[in-house]
Amino acid sequence: MTVALSNHYSHGYYFVFPNQFHDVVGFGDKHTSKERFREVAAAMGTPLLADAPIHGAYIPRSSVVSPSPHVILIGDAGGFPNRASYEGLYYAFATAYNACEAIVTGRDFRKVNKTIFRKKRKEEIMDPLVYNRVFFSILRLIALSPRFVKACYNFFV
């Protein structure tokens, strides 16, 4: 698996997830287009075939308000992916669990999900720093210490 954050992307990322029959390649930033996606994929060493289908979906970077009190939006639909990395599986599972808890107990989802909302506020503070050249330099140094990386990850995620 390859994930790349770069200050060449405006709040974006690039990834390759190998699969048995084909790889899933993704890229997104504030200015994503199909042409830009092809350029970045080629630059990262995974050029796309000319006729390769390109599919995508918008990932909201901020919380999405449910249109109804009887609907709970979770994961990407609720705007819960990580603000810096756009990683969404953790939040998809966590918010699904919290939605289930809210439904079963009859409690307000916002109260059951308060720790997730707290993490989202931390991410909003960190977001402007993540795509900063100085931050990338520091990140390269931090990456040399797995224990420090784990501590930072546990604090911010």
Query: Does residue 107 surpass a pLDDT of 80?
Result: yes
The predicted-structure confidence for 35-47, as pLDDT tens digits, reads as follows 888 888 888 888 8
Of residues 123 and 92, the one with the higher pLDDT is 92
**C-beta separation of 79 from 60 below 8 A:** yes
Whether 15 and 46 have beta carbons less than 8 Å apart is answered as: no
Please state, in angstroms and rounded to a whole number, the distance separating the CA atoms of residues 63 and 145: 33
Confidence of residue 33 (pLDDT cuts 50, 70, 90): confident
**Residue range 16-21: average pLDDT?**
85
Judge whether residue 143 has pLDDT over 80.
no
> What is the rounded average pLDDT of the residues 5-13?
67
Statement: residue 21 has pLDDT above 70: yes
Q: What is the DSSP letter of 127?
A: H
pLDDT, average across residues 110-120? 92
Write down the pLDDT at residue 112. Answer: 95
